[in-house]
Structure 1
Amino acid sequence: MSRQELKPYTGPYTASGILTSIKDKGQTLRGLYQDEARNWDPKKLSKFGLACYFGMLEAVVKMVQSGAAPLLNSHETPYHWDYLSIIVFGAQRVSHPSGLKHLECLEFLLARGVPPNSQDIVGSTALHHACTGQTTNKPDPETLAELLTKPHLPQSNKIAPLIRSLIKHGANVDHQNRYGEVALFSAFPSNNIEVIDILLENGASLDIPEADGITPRSFFVRYGPQVTACVSKWIRKREGTDAPREGGQRRCQVERYCSTECQKKAWPVHKKICKPFDTSTTVVLKPSYRKGGTVQPLASLTRSVFGYDKDHPTPDSFYRGAHIPQTKSGKGKGHGKGAKSAAGKSDQKFEPKNLIIKVQVQLKQETLYGPMQDNGSYDSGRFDAKGDLLVYTKKRDFVCMITRAEQGSVDFESSSAAGVCVGEKAFDRLVQVVLNKGVGKAYFAAVLNSEKELVVKVGEVLAEQPF
């Protein structure tokens, strides 16, 4: 790629204006930039650029102090990358033996006055690049083993300190590139929760529109439950509000605490606002476990298409269409691989389990592919209030469907108490709470009393959870 080829789209190496995707050919520029950047060869960098890229602190310091380094505010490559961005690229792509010191190189250059907001040919800064999360370097075996147990944890632990350092030295978290995008737009697609946290912790705005008028606030829900939970948490913090399940009380089965001592200290305050599990706050429903069914996490599917989940694959359990938690005997039951039907008889004594569940209401078939609202969610009228509900926990150790037609056919052990909401009335109440407070999905505390009896605390919708 030559500078002449990009000139019609970029002009000089300054942010001369924001480019809309179609009218101003912003998408054309984006495609050119990304296609060529994939083939970029770091060996074409200068000696100083290579030292920055590989995090060779001693060489960087020596060249600067001896005068052998180029001007520190200069740029390399047709992309017009500054040395802070080159350090970031190296930290993202190069394996990390102990001798490589990208953070130290970054802080050394920042201390020498290198501007933290220098822009490349598309107006992106080092902070934009650091937030992309497109980390191609492999973690060490110990870290990889941990990541495989937490498949949706981005490998941002080595990039996060660079982001904090850039911000500490004046990097603008709200700087817009030629597409009008702030750094948050770089972090959303890769599910980079740690990076999103850092940006919002440092005051990043959710209301700055990019060239086509989209704001982070209007779009974040499209990037899946973890991004949604993280951003929603910061929205509530900024508004000075709170929601259940953002800390942690065993007595109400919603709040959670780090220790029994901590719980006892907090209970006198929490009990004043606690909504207990009782007939006024709960409904009782019959789960349905459909043999052979599977589900597809859409956010994970989208990320896999774009290559973000290559090193963090979605676990098999996330595709379960049905599963019952472990019983007292220690044996859980699911479907597929020859498992017994969960709706069948069982001689095992079932131990009730406290759960945090997600309830999703089915979209109407005719509205499935329609546009979303400005806030990135679906209008409540597009949901089928009588359609099946998908219910599951974070680990997918409990997955079921709840069907309205099946609710009037079972007598529950707990329904003998006066005022217990069961049957189709219980189904309808749960759906209305989800549609009124969650717009298609919501989180609740629940108790699974048996394979056929699920008690849901509809009187209190929980904060968005990362699943």
Structure 2
Amino acid sequence: MEVFIGALDAVKERVESGRAPDLTGQETGYKYGYAALALFGAQRLEPNPRSDHVGTLKYLLEHGAPPDVPDVVGYTALHHACMAYPRADIARILLEHGADPNWQDRFGDVALNGAFQNESLDAIEVLMEFGARLDIKDADDYTPGEFFIKCGPRVTAVVQKWKRKRAGESAPLDEKTCTVCRKGGVQLKWCARCHKTWYCSKECQSAPRFLRLSLVAPLTLQAELDWPGHKLECISDSAESTVTLKPAYDGITALLPIAHTTRQLLGHPVERQPARNTRGAQVPRIPPGQTKKMIIKVQVPLSSLMSDLMVYDKKRSFVCQIRKADNPEGYRRVEQVVRTKGVAGAKAYFSAEMKSPDELVVKISEVLPEQAF
């Protein structure tokens, strides 16, 4: 109970006086270890100035309590930290003290699957940072690498970013920082031409190629990318790099966020979705004489009962279908790119420009990194 309520001084007194139980042991009929009990208190009790669950957990781990004590289901504290009421900060502490990110419960599940199910993005980041594997089979021969794609776009974006990082690859939009000064945590605007480069200000976008200290190698001077240099690499619109499509706005009654709806049905805590995320066809508003530039998501048909491409942007200011009959050649080219370069051959993100509600120009020469929508 003292561990559960985070009574650090009382726990210290017991341990240092020799009156504490075996810290490698378990308590209750569920056979919880002491690291798990400290986590449960942090997850479930209201913050109290007299309680210190994080301090209690660290003290126990530093005085002999193992991070990996499986309960009756085989869950360790790390499993519980990544499920409902996720605590990525405590997951990090457990991992820093030797918790196994790939520990399997009695059903073969790893902590990563719980983080996927609950859309615990911070927990996924921590687990991947500490080497969580995507190829571990559970009792049904199912792996996290097969499962994450079903857990929604936000989970997919995080996992795909880490897969690139582990492969020694990177994509321009993986980290949301200014291309020139590397500043993050501020409002950024992307290059309106290619949608794959971010700038924090007009000064950074238009600055000449000044030499500055590299953030990667602080003692090495290097030329940073700016607009004068970037414009040489920014892919221009051409017949080879783009496809012009005619959108259809009828026949879409509503978008169904499958992963979000599934979590609700299974009783997982979920964030409230904006009403726009479920609305149907949406004709974009384009002022006279202007165009609308955006990043779009393109989903190919997932079954033989469907035949149209589904297209929409992050804020659902634009939602449409692309029909093969209206766009025979364009449909073929877009579908081929999504099938070969998209996530699981089902969806992909592109830079696009709407010339009018009936004319959508999609830059298919480069698939953008997965976005959180």
Counterpart residue number, 1:426: 330
TM-score normalised by structure 2 residue count: 0.83
Larger deviation, residues 63-72 vs 180-189:
63-72
The answer as to 2:102 corresponding to 1:174 is: yes
Counterpart residue number, 2:117: 189
Given the superposition, is the C-alpha separation of residues 86 and 214 from structure 1 closer, same or farther in structure 2, using an over 3 Å criterion? same
Rg (Cα) greater in structure: 1
Shift of 1:317: 1.0
AA matched with 2:66? P
Indicate if the aligned counterparts of 1:350 and 1:449 stay in contact, CA closer than 8 A: no
Q: How does 1:3-152 map to 2 (within 5 A)?
A: 50-132=1-83, 134-135=84-85
Secondary structure of the residue that 2:46 maps to in structure 1? coil
- Residues 119-145 of structure 1 show CA distances to partners (whole Å, capped at 9, x for unaligned) of 22232211111111x11xxxxxxxxxx
Secondary structure of the residue that 2:42 maps to in structure 1? helix
The answer as to 2:322 corresponding to 1:402 is: yes
- Residues 126-176 of structure 1 show CA distances to partners (whole Å, capped at 9, x for unaligned) of 1111111x11xxxxxxxxxxxxxxxxxxxx4xx121111111111111122
Considering only aligned residues, what root-mean-square deviation do their CA atoms show, in Å? 2.3
Counterpart residue number, 1:278: 238
Indicate if the aligned counterparts of 1:247 and 1:257 stay in contact, CA closer than 8 A: no
AA matched with 2:250? R
Pick one of 266, 272, 288 that aligns with 2:225.
Answer: 266
Indicate if the aligned counterparts of 1:247 and 1:255 stay in contact, CA closer than 8 A: no
Counterpart residue number, 2:352: 446
Given the superposition, is the C-alpha separation of residues 97 and 455 from structure 1 closer, same or farther in structure 2, using an over 3 Å criterion? farther
Given the superposition, is the C-alpha separation of residues 98 and 393 from structure 1 closer, same or farther in structure 2, using an over 3 Å criterion? farther
Counterpart residue number, 2:191: 250
- Residues 370-413 of structure 1 show CA distances to partners (whole Å, capped at 9, x for unaligned) of xxxxxxxxxxxxxx6xx2211111222221222233x3xxxxxx
Indicate if the aligned counterparts of 1:55 and 1:90 stay in contact, CA closer than 8 A: yes
The answer as to 2:310 corresponding to 1:390 is: yes
Q: Could you tell me how far apart the structure 2 residues matched to 1:208 and 1:86 are? A: 27
Secondary structure of the residue that 1:188 maps to in structure 2? helix
Counterpart residue number, 1:148: none
Pick one of 303, 321, 326 that aligns with 1:364.
Answer: 303
Query: Number of aligned pairs?
Result: 339
Secondary structure of the residue that 2:145 maps to in structure 1? helix
Q: Could you tell me how far apart the structure 1 residues matched to 2:229 and 2:4 are? A: 53
Counterpart residue number, 1:320: 279
Q: Could you tell me how far apart the structure 2 residues matched to 1:214 and 1:292 are? A: 33
TM-score normalised by structure 1 residue count: 0.67
Q: Could you tell me how far apart the structure 1 residues matched to 2:300 and 2:254 are? A: 17
Structure 2 stretches of 5 or more lacking a match? 177-189, 208-223
Secondary structure of the residue that 1:358 maps to in structure 2? strand
- Residues 396-451 of structure 1 show CA distances to partners (whole Å, capped at 9, x for unaligned) of 2221222233x3xxxxxxxxxxxxxxx43222221222222221211101112222
| Larger relative contact order (CA 8 Å, sep ≥ 6) | 1
Query: If each structure's helix is expressed as a fraction of its own residues, which one has the higher value?
Result: 1
Shift of 1:251: 5.8
Secondary structure of the residue that 1:404 maps to in structure 2? coil
Q: Could you tell me how far apart the structure 2 residues matched to 1:100 and 1:122 are? A: 28
Counterpart residue number, 2:184: none
Pick one of 265, 268, 280 that aligns with 1:308.
Answer: 268
- Residues 176-229 of structure 1 show CA distances to partners (whole Å, capped at 9, x for unaligned) of 222222221221111111111111111111122222222211222121222211
Q: Could you tell me how far apart the structure 2 residues matched to 1:269 and 1:350 are? A: 29
- Residues 280-321 of structure 1 show CA distances to partners (whole Å, capped at 9, x for unaligned) of 2111112222377111111111111112244x1222111111
Secondary structure of the residue that 1:196 maps to in structure 2? helix
Given the superposition, is the C-alpha separation of residues 350 and 68 from structure 1 closer, same or farther in structure 2, using an over 3 Å criterion? farther
Given the superposition, is the C-alpha separation of residues 277 and 246 from structure 1 closer, same or farther in structure 2, using an over 3 Å criterion? farther
Q: Could you tell me how far apart the structure 2 residues matched to 1:237 and 1:209 are? A: 22
Larger deviation, residues 313-322 vs 52-61:
52-61
Q: Could you tell me how far apart the structure 2 residues matched to 1:206 and 1:235 are? A: 9
Q: Could you tell me how far apart the structure 2 residues matched to 1:269 and 1:184 are? A: 41
Larger deviation, residues 252-261 vs 160-169:
252-261
AA matched with 2:339? L
Q: Could you tell me how far apart the structure 1 residues matched to 2:49 and 2:294 are? A: 43
Query: If each structure's strand is expressed as a fraction of its own residues, which one has the higher value?
Result: 2
Counterpart residue number, 1:31: none
Counterpart residue number, 1:145: none
Shift of 1:116: 1.2
Indicate if the aligned counterparts of 1:52 and 1:87 stay in contact, CA closer than 8 A: yes
Counterpart residue number, 1:45: none
Q: Could you tell me how far apart the structure 2 residues matched to 1:97 and 1:326 are? A: 50
The answer as to 2:291 corresponding to 1:352 is: yes
AA matched with 2:280? G
Secondary structure of the residue that 1:53 maps to in structure 2? coil
Given the superposition, is the C-alpha separation of residues 301 and 434 from structure 1 closer, same or farther in structure 2, using an over 3 Å criterion? same
AA matched with 1:70? P
The answer as to 2:168 corresponding to 1:240 is: yes
